[in-house]
Amino acid sequence: MSRSSLDLRVLASMVRVAIDSIVRNRLRSFLTMLGIIIGVAAVVALVAVGLGAQDQIQQSIDRLGTNLLVVTPGASAQGGVSRGAGSFNRLTQEDAESLQRESVLLSAVSPVVVAPSQVIGGEGNWRTGVLGVSTSYPLIRNWQTTSGTFFSEEDARARRKVAVLGVTVAEQLFPGADPVGETVQLRNVPFRVVGVLEKKGQSADGSDQDDVILAPVDTVQTRLAGRKFIAQILASTSSPDDVAAAQQEMAQILRQSHRLADWEEDDFTVRNQTQIAEAAQGTTEVMTLLLASIAGISLLVGGIGIMNIMLVSVTERTGEIGLRLALGARARDVLTQFLVESVVMSLLGGLLGVGLGVAGAATLGAFTGWATEVSSPAVVLALAFSAAVGIFFGWYPAQRAAGLDPIAALRYE
């Protein structure tokens, strides 16, 4: 028989002895493992919630559009004090036209005019945001219609009073019915409904993307907004690889359009989807790590409990240890035996904790509606950490057992 197979048989025998010891003292063993169980369960559940939140944020960002770039007004200052982003608006439709005409990297550009309004039609009324956009808007936002169509370029050029409803608005005004062909009033101006948008859900900031009405930008600007400047400009690129270069190109074109000197700062802000995603994901990652770290403290507390019980076990089994040493067992064998018992207890607690954590994450998701995603690396890491806790906190009791004098141990009562 080879030495490796003999070592495996010895190790298997030690594991059986450890399990027998745990089974004989079920209640004490369970209470000892409780800290490990709670710690591992907390790590698995909290990481699942954190990853679920990250996925939700990413999905919300993906729903904003493909390779999205957003231009917003810049900041103004008064008396040396900044008045905040968006306080100085010089964006116009001409800027959007310049971007569309001069850019070589942008595939689509749309100005956006915002005109909140009370909409009346169907079975009631509803206050919502009305956005004046171009026909490129659904391409930029990757937003299709489920009923009817988006308004045409001819509708936009003729400044026709046509509108496309978001799902929320359609359900509020025309519950259970198709509103295409119906008429709604926006600030007493009649608009014909030509389409209903597909459901988008919540955005990354929690707002309802479906609570909106889209109409031709010139129609909204002249009929509802009544002002020259626009709220923002949306654009997209054909490839994600072009986003960074397109962002710089847009800034150069807008600086020329606004006739800014080299020493003057931008009076606009260009952001891309990646920056929005990184900011949102960074926040959730920090929170996930923080929660997992707090939960990890329970593992350390559980390790202390294991060390205490192992010390008690050494005291209770002093006679047994003395007998084994007197019959020829080496100190290393005794050390290994107690380490195996500590690790087995930690791993059993870790496995129970994983089961509890997975069940807890599923229950939490079912009752709160939060998205949860159990992470395999987090499960493996939690189990590895629980085994490490067993080794770390079991080392001192094991050394103490291995260092007993055989004669003194045999005389111990």
Looking at residue 277, its pLDDT comes to: 59
List CB contacts of 375: < 8 A, sequence separation 6 or more.
44, 47, 48, 51
User: Do 300 and 395 lie in a common domain?
Assistant: yes
The pLDDT, as a whole number, for residue 328 is 67
Model confidence over 262-310: pLDDT tens digits? Answer: 898 888 889 887 655 565 556 666 666 666 666 667 667 777 777 777 7
Q: Are residues 283 and 229 in the same domain?
A: no
CA distance 54 to 284: 6
187 lies in some domain: yes
- 142 and 54 part of one domain: no
Q: Do 302 and 201 have their domain in common?
A: no
Quote the pLDDT of residue 321.
63
State the distance between the two ends of the chain, measured CA to CA, in whole angstroms: 40
Residue among 215, 243, 69 at smallest CA distance from 140: 69
**Residue 78 domain-assigned (yes or no):** no
In a domain, residue 356? The reply is yes
3-class state of residue 212 by DSSP: strand
Q: What residues contact residue 133 under an 8 Å CB cut-off, 6+ apart?
A: 110, 111, 112, 113, 214, 215, 216, 217, 234
**Contact criterion met (CB below 8 Å) for 177 and 95:** no
pLDDT computed for residue 152 by the predictor: 94
Q: Please indicate, yes or no, whether residues 220 and 117 belong to a single structural domain of this protein.
A: yes
pLDDT of 75 reads: 60
Same domain, 229 and 328: no
Looking at residue 20, its pLDDT comes to 76
Identify which of 407, 24, 71, 16 has the alpha carbon closest to the alpha carbon of residue 252: 71
Q: Are residues 231 and 317 in the same domain?
A: no
Please state, in angstroms and rounded to a whole number, the distance separating the CA atoms of residues 80 and 217: 36
Same domain, 127 and 228: yes
What DSSP letter does each residue of 236-263 carry, written as one string?
EESSGGGHHHHHHHHHHHHHHHTT--TT
Q: Please indicate, yes or no, if residue 96 is contained in any of the structural domains.
A: no
Q: What number of CA atoms fall less than 13 Å from residue 370's CA on the CB side?
A: 21
Inside any domain, residue 132: yes
Classify residue 176: in a domain, yes or no: yes
Determine the pLDDT at residue 358: 86
Q: What pLDDT shows up at residue 85? A: 47
Half-sphere exposure of 166 (CA within 13 A, CB side): 20
- The secondary structure element, H or E, covering residue 78 is strand 77-78
Clarify whether residues 170 and 228 are in a common domain.
yes
Contact 221, 113 (CB under 8 A): yes
Residues 111 and 33 in one domain: no
Rama region for 176: left / alpha / beta (φ>0; ψ in -120 to 50; rest): left
> How does pLDDT run along the chain (413 residues), one tens digit per residue?
455 554 566 667 667 766 777 777 777 777 777 877 887 887 788 778 777 776 766 666 655 555 889 999 876 444 443 444 444 577 899 999 999 999 999 999 999 999 989 999 888 899 999 999 999 999 998 899 999 999 999 999 999 999 999 999 999 999 989 999 999 999 889 999 999 999 987 765 667 889 999 999 999 999 998 778 898 999 998 887 888 899 999 999 999 988 888 898 888 889 887 655 565 556 666 666 666 666 667 667 777 777 777 777 766 666 666 666 666 667 776 777 777 777 788 888 888 888 888 888 888 777 776 777 777 877 887 788 777 777 777 777 777 766 666 666 555 55
Alpha carbon of residue 285 to chain centroid: 7
Q: Is residue 73 part of a domain?
A: no
3-state secondary structure of 203: coil
Can you spell out the DSSP letters for 55-71?
HHHHHHHHHH-SSEEEE
The last residue of a domain, from among 201, 235, 269: 235
Q: Six-digit token pair at 354?
A: 């994983």
How many angstroms separate the CA atoms of 354 and 360, rounded? 10
Residue 227: helix, strand or coil by DSSP? Answer: coil
For residue 25, the enclosing domain spans 3-60+279-411
pLDDT at 172 (0 to 100): 93
Q: Answer yes or no: do 217 and 284 share one domain.
A: no
Among 343, 356, 308, smallest CA distance to 32 is for: 308
**Residue 29 burial (10 A CB sphere; 0-12, 13-18, 19+):** buried
Residue 143 within a domain: yes
Q: How many residues does the chain have?
A: 413
In angstroms, rounded to a whole number, what is the distance separating the alpha carbons of residues 180 and 199? 16
Give CA separation, 365 vs 169, 205, 292, 358, in Å. 28, 20, 18, 11
Q: What are 348's two structure tokens?
A: 């059993």
Same domain, 298 and 204: no
Last residue of a domain, one of 177, 209, 235: 235
Contact between 389 and 345 under an 8 Å Cβ cutoff? The reply is: no
Please report the DSSP string for 89-147 in residue order.
----HHHHHHHHHH-SSEEEEEEEEE--EEEEETTEEEEEEEEEE-TTHHHHHT--EEE
* CA pair distance 196, 191, nearest whole angstrom: 14
